[in-house]
Amino acid sequence: MTATPPLYILRHGETTWNATGRLQGHFHADLTARGRAQAQAQRQILQSENLSGFQALSSPQGRALETAEIAVAGLVKEILTDSALAEVGLGDWAGMSLSLIHISEPTRLRRI
């Protein structure tokens, strides 16, 4: 029986919106210096693994793709993107801060 290869799942690094508590959804926000450092830390972990023959898949959203580019630089041949990996839409909440949602829609927030 052939062993199943490991699957590594990475989250994007911190963005300018994460740092201020804003919800992004489909919107773009740049990685912060901390977010790029988080991606570099992921790379240091992955460097200890044998990734030959591995394929990297990423959301096409900028924050995810930039994180992937840093995390797997020189470790895999290419990064493929798949829109199925993109962040879900957040409707009216996209771009809002959590604190504003708590104030403006407290009953809706309690239901989730």
Residue 69 falls in the annotated catalytic set: no
Q: In angstroms, rounded to a whole number, what is the distance separating the alpha carbons of residues 10 and 81?
A: 14
- The active-site residue out of 26, 49, 66, 87 is 87
Gap between the Cα atoms of 38 and 63, Å rounded = 12
27/104 Cα distance (integer angstroms):
21
Catalytic residue at 87?
A: yes
Residues recognised as catalytic? 12, 87
